Every structure is written in structure tokens, then in C-alpha cells.
Amino acid sequence: MLMLNINIFYKARKKCSFLFILSLVLSLIGCISLTNQQNYSNKGLNVNFLYNPNAYSLEANIYVFNVSGSNSELYCNIPYSTLTFYGDSIRFSNVLIKYILYKISKNVLIVDSSTVNHQIVFNKNKTDALIKLDLILNDTSDYMLDIGLIEVNTGKTFRTFYEIERSKKVNSNDFLALTKNGNIVFNGYIKSSDTIYFKVKKELPKTLRIAYFKDESKLASPPYSYLSKDYIYKPPDSIKVIRICDTCYFFLKKQNTIGRIFYDSISYGFTLYNFSDNFPNLKNITEMLQPLRLLTSAKEFNELVENSDKKEALDKFWLEISNSPERARELIRVFYTRTMLANKYFTSYTQGWKTDRGAIYILFGLPTAIYKSPKLEQWIYGNPSSPKALVFTFHKQYCEISNNHYVLERNEFYKIPWLQAVDTWRNGRIFTVSSE
């Protein structure tokens, strides 16, 4: 079989001295420009590491739960597989956590910072470590958390930005979803077999509602097309009442379904996704066929999905455009790894690969530079200082069921590079933008 195992999460181990990495992490934050101006790329921090799994050698999941109106809890989940434990009778790893908390209002202000050294003791009955820290947030503003981790033993690092919602009457961070065995659902993705219960901010009632939506969204339009297929709110298929308690269990059994837990209004709530039991990965042939719409005409795509032997159709597609099994395997590896990462980073009202950012990420790859403000992302391919650089600007838009919805600022200028990218893939090569 030509298909590769795309569940492997590729990690590049950075070879640099411990002292260098320690000094880097201790000065991790620096001065970050987070303004609402579009023209901030020359002053801002390049944050393309946010969407680059190879940028750091530690893995971590971050979540903030608003316990009450004055207190939030920061959870860091670190897989054992990325840690290095030392010791004989007791094995341990020391992890340094450094964060800066920005308040987002009319201006972006630093309101808190902290550095904490946490010792993780190896437990043979666990596969990951969970670290909890308290955050004192006593107002109704939104926040941006810039958080970095370093494993002191080895110098392995991790860094990300995390948005904390507190400005709405009910915020997504007012909910903590857990599996029946008590594990936090960090990314909102669950399987049909998962049993979930919730903790909610103490000020919320213990009876809420859940709205069910079927994901029928189409792939985003090409960046040069003004005929946008952007998100349009549709009423839920059904709404049910749920109770909040430690034994009040919840299921989302139907695949390709979005569940929105809410109070009063659907806009005030928390979203769970059951796109498939493999998500954000793509394992079966049907799932792997869908993103090929990025590379095919409507007629060609319909022939692929309607073929009685879909595996043969998929293999034939990649072999014909590559002309060799070896090149086909490389194209498949890159294409579906990017698709998985698009799902991981850009999922909002639909699967990440269908969104504006997801489609561009798959075809063009990781941008050379990304500059970010609370309401804007600017992606640059090529040399950021060159007038020949390819620049995509995404605006954060209101969405009833997601806080991760960005819409591309479309332009006819993008038609040539977009068609060049598609043609390059169709000719068996991975598209790249010149760095000149």
C-alpha cells in the first residue's frame, strides 16, 4: 500500500547548548508588539513557531479554566514521551515554566508575569504530566498568555500564545471538559466512544443546554475569489438540556458533529468536536480523499470520490502526478502532515483544512514569518523585507461557536501564485516561495 502512517508527529531535536537555551527561555518574552494596526510587521515578533511542530523539542497542551469571577487555573499537560527522566529509585524531570500575561482592552498591557520551577516525578501508571498554576484575574477583560517551558535537565523547550476569554457574560474558558477518568479535553476533539462531564465557573447555573450542529461546510474559496464560502450561521439541528455534576455524563456519538454547550445564548458557551475518531489525523481513505479538492477540478474530484475502489483511485492520483512511488510517498507525507496540522491549528466552525488559513498552509507550507495582533494575522512567504514577498492577511471574525475564526482578505493578485502552487503539486513537486 502506498499510503504512509501519518500519525507520526515529527519533532526536530534542536542541538544547542544547555546554557544557551536556559538564557533564551529566561528572556523568553521580550518586547512583543501586539497592536491593532495592520502595519506592524517590522516591529512585531515573528510567531511562525505557533504553527510549526518542529520549532520546539517539548510538546505541551495548554488550557485555562475560569474557576470563578476572580480566579482562573492554568493547566499544562506534557507527554512523558517528550521528557527525559533522571534518577535511580525516584526518577524525575525539572520543568521551568515562564509566562507573561497581557490584558487585551483598548491597549495591550502586561499585567502579570511569573517563573515557576516544577519537578515532575515519573509514575509508571501515567503517560503524561499535568501541572496546575493559579492565575488571579479579577475583571472581565480578555487576556493573552505568552507561555514558555524548558526541561532544565536537557534544555528542551516549548512556547505558545494562548487566548483567555473573560469579557463575555459566559466565556469558552468558563468550562472544563473532562473524560470519565478525569483527563482534561484540551483541544475540544472527542471520539464517539468518549464519555464527558463538565466543570463550570462557580457563578454559572448547573443546568445548561447543548446545541448540535452537523458540519456541512464547504472548502474555503481560493484566495483570489470574492465568491467566498465563508461561515454562515445556521440554526442547530437540535437542542437538549444537560446537567452539570461529576456524574452527569455527556456523549457526542454522531461523527461530523459539533456540540455547543451554552447558557442563555449559543454565543456564550464551549464547543466540542467529533469530526471522526481519527481527528485531527486522517487515517481512512474517505478522509484522505477530501483534501484533494485543493488540487483538483470539481469534475476530477467527483470522479475520485465516486470511484468504487477509492483506495486504488487515491494511489493512482498520487502515482500519476509524481511518476514514481518514492516521490509519491514524499508528496503524501508532506501533504497529509500539513493537513493534520491545519486541523490541529485552524479548526473553528469546521475542520481546519477547509478554512482560509488551513488551505493556504497546506499548499504553501509554513510561512517565513507570521505577525499577530489580537484581531489579525499576517503571513509572509519569502523574504519579509522584499517587495516580492507574498503576504496573506487574515482578520479575526465573529463566530457563534468558535473563537478561532479568521477570514482572508481576498485579492485577485493571489490568482497567479495560487495556480502556480497547484500546478507545482500536480507536477509532483512541493511548492515553495522564493526567499529573494
Q: Which domains, and CATH codes, for the chain?
A: 1-167 (2.60.40.10)
Structure confidence at residue 434 (pLDDT):
74
Whether 40 shows a pLDDT value over 50: the answer reads no
| Cα atoms found within 13 Å of the Cα of residue 374, Cβ hemisphere only | 20
Cβ neighbours of 363 (radius 10 Å)? 22
In terms of Cα–Cα distance, which of 219, 258, 215, 159 is closest to 357? Answer: 219
CA–CA distance, 132 with 118 (Å, rounded to integer): 10
Whether 309 shows a pLDDT value over 90: the answer reads yes
CA–CA distance, 16 with 93 (Å, rounded to integer): 19
In terms of Cα–Cα distance, which of 28, 45, 167 is closest to 97? Answer: 28
Structure confidence at residue 6 (pLDDT):
35
- The residue type found at 201 is K
Whether 260 shows a pLDDT value over 50: the answer reads yes
Cβ neighbours of 286 (radius 10 Å)? 13
pTM of model > 0.85:
yes
Name the band, by pLDDT with cuts 50, 70 and 90, for residue 27. very low
Name the band, by pLDDT with cuts 50, 70 and 90, for residue 11. very low
Average the pLDDT over 373-390 and give the result.
93
Structure confidence at residue 3 (pLDDT):
43
Structure confidence at residue 374 (pLDDT):
86
The per-residue pLDDT for range 138-156, each reduced to its tens digit, is 888 999 999 999 999 999 9
Paired sense of beta strands 108-121 and 142-151, if any? unpaired
Average the pLDDT over 407-423 and give the result.
96
Q: Name, in order, each residue with C-beta under 8 angstroms of 1's C-beta and a sequence gap of 6 or more.
A: 311, 315
CA–CA distance, 281 with 336 (Å, rounded to integer): 8
Cell numbers for 147, please give them: 507561555
CB 191 within 8 A of CB 274: yes
The per-residue pLDDT for range 52-87, each reduced to its tens digit, is 999 999 999 999 999 999 899 999 999 999 999 999
The per-residue pLDDT for range 198-213, each reduced to its tens digit, is 999 999 999 999 999 9
Q: What is the largest CA-CA distance in the chain?
A: 65
